[in-house]
Structure 1
Amino acid sequence: MTKVIAFDVNETLLDLSSLDDAFEDLLGSAALRGQWFAQMLQLSFVGGLTGEYVDFTTAQHAALHMLAERHGHTLTTDEATAVVSRMSSLPAHPEVPGALRRLRTTDLTLVALTNSIQTVAEAQLTNAGIREHFDGVISADAVKRLKPAPEPYLTVARAFDVDPAEVRLVAAHSWDVSGALAAGCKAAFVTRPGMVPSPLGGRPDIVGADVADVVDQIMTMDTE
């Protein structure tokens, strides 16, 4: 039986499209925001694979400079910092606050599980107006192993004294869902625009168009 719901934060709960104007102004195209996020993930994952840990904020700065160079631009440190700092004030997707409020009426424990460093994660949820809905905020930075490595998911299980099989991750990233399933947790996939589940490995038993859809299914499957 599921006891803990662990929500990914960036893109799953929070809307990164609010950064589009910054990419338009600095690099000439809002479309580069997606490339930046993908580059940041690559740098973070390479750090994990090579044993040279890179935290999410450091990876975001590095990815921004790489992207600028690739497209013939030069960013100052202050310009890069201004973009990265906006990660702390992203808005929640419209359906998220209401969906979380509904889930709080159940006996399930809610936790935010993110690759963002702890201070950024707390600021993100507070500024988005949804921190009150969570029983805890866990950063993968605390164990210096970013998702989809197993340690962050297992940290959630240990923190709330439950078996990994009693934890369900909710995420809009196939790599995050795959990591949770490989760690022995359940998962729910949020198919935000452009997001599709991986055809490889385990499959989540809940798939929904947004967090509200996923929460509806969780309340049917994971509550008594």
Structure 2
Amino acid sequence: MPTRPLALAFDVLDTLFPLGPLEWRFREAGIPRILMTRWSDHLLRDAFALALVGGDRTFEDVARGSLRDITGHQIAPAAEDAIIEGLSRLAPRREAVSAVTAARDAGLGVVALAMGGEDATRELLSGAGLLDLVDGVCAGRWRPAGEAYLAAAGTLEVEPHRLGLVTAHGWDVGGAGRAGLVTGWSAHLEGRFPAVFPEPDVRGRDLGEVVEALLDLRAAPA
């Protein structure tokens, strides 16, 4: 039975920040809506591969490469730039600030966990009023490789089993659980938890419910 974590790591894209608002940038670029989903899937595919084989590619490299691939390398440079810029202009989910605040008010440390670059992640958090609510940003490492989760634990100076992950991705739960973290899954993105991964320690309909469930776990023995 997991114990109540001392700190939380919040996944950024599609957990704190939905990617849906990028759709209008795709439309402006003349890219069919269906290709936005293909782009996201392509991006994750390459990110997962890099988590396995390593390499010095950045998140922006992968995001741009995926855009070019799904458009047959026909996307205009200005349109490509506009979509990439949109990744640092996203609006947070309606309960994102309150969920992070609840963790802070309960005395937990908080870190933002992102595969994107640190500067871009800080810009995104700042625009949403979240940057001052986190104790750190752990960015630039490919997930679900274990080192990304262990780095987040190191940032907050807690043992991995005392760090909780808040995410909307089943694959993220799988990676974090294998690294020893307490896992919390929000159903707002996938609806049903993917059957191929071990069950999360807690789950909820949204971020607020996930944080509440993590806070309700029993405390570790003194």
State TM-score, norm by structure 2.
Answer: 0.90
**Counterpart of 1:88?**
88
Q: Which has the higher contact order (CA 8 A, sep 6+)?
A: 2
Go from structure 1 to structure 2 and tell me whether the alpha carbon gap of 1:118 and 1:216 turns closer, same or farther (over 3 Å shift).
same
- The partner residue of 1:52 within 51, 55, 63 is 55
Partner of 2:40: 37
Residues 31, 129 of structure 1: CA spacing in aligned structure 2 closer, same or farther, 3 A cutoff? Answer: farther
Of residues 4, 17, 20, the one that matches 1:17 is 20
Kindly state the Cα deviation for residue 65 of structure 1 after the two structures are TM-superposed: 0.7
Count of aligned positions = 217
More helix by share: 1
3-state SS of the aligned residue for 1:153? helix
Mapped to 2, the partners of 1:160 and 1:129 lie a distance apart of 20
| Partner secondary structure for residue 221 of structure 1 | coil
2:118 is aligned to 118
Structure 1 residues not aligned, in runs of 5+? none
Where does structure 1 differ by over 4 angstroms across 4 or more consecutive aligned residues? none
Separation of aligned partners in 1, 2:16 and 2:96 = 6
Match of 2:196 in 1: 200
Larger deviation: 169-178 or 30-39? 30-39
- Report the equivalent of 2:97: 97
- 1:112 CA drift (Å): 0.6
The CA deviation string for residues 80-101 of structure 1, in whole angstroms up to 9 with x for no partner, is: 1111111001000111112222
| Structure 2, gaps ≥5 residues long | none
Map Cα deviations across residues 13-33 of structure 1 (whole Å, 9 max, x no partner): 002111111112324432322
Match of 1:7 in 2: 10
Q: Which letter does structure 2 place at the counterpart of 1:120?
A: A
User: Relative to structure 1, is the Cα distance of residues 223 and 215 closer, same or farther in structure 2, using a 3 angstrom cutoff?
Assistant: farther
Confirm whether residue 174 of structure 1 aligns to residue 170 of structure 2.
yes
Do 2:169 and 2:189's aligned partners in 1 also have CA atoms closer than 8 Å? no
Question: Structure 2: how far apart are the matches of 1:202 and 1:193?
Answer: 18
Assess if the C-alpha contact under 8 Å between 1:44 and 1:54 holds in 2: no
Work out whether 1:161 is the aligned partner of 2:172.
no
User: What is the alpha-carbon distance in structure 2 between the residues aligned to residue 223 and residue 24 of structure 1?
Assistant: 49
Once the two structures are TM-superposed, the CA of residue 149 in structure 1 deviates from its matched residue by 0.2
Instruction: Supply the AA of the counterpart residue of 2:144.
Output: P
CA–CA distance in structure 2, aligned partners of residues 118 and 131 of structure 1: 12
CA drift at 1:223? 6.4
> What percentage of residue pairs aligned between the two structures are identical?
28
1:136-192 Cα offsets, whole Å, 9 max, x none, are 1111x2xxx411000011112222222110011111111111100010111101112
Q: Does the CA contact (< 8 Å) of 1:147 and 1:176 recur in 2? A: yes
Q: Distance between the aligned counterparts of 2:31 and 2:153, measured in 1? A: 44
Verify the 8 A CA contact 1:173 1:195 in the aligned structure 2: no
CA contact (8 A) 1:20 1:31 kept: no
Give TM-score, length-normalised by structure 1: 0.89
1:43 and 1:54 in contact (8 A); partners too:
no
The answer to whether the Cα contact below 8 Å between 2:89 and 2:124 also exists between their aligned partners in 1 is yes
Contact 2:47–2:143 (CA<8 Å) still a contact in 1? Answer: no
1:189 aligns to 2:185 (yes or no) = yes
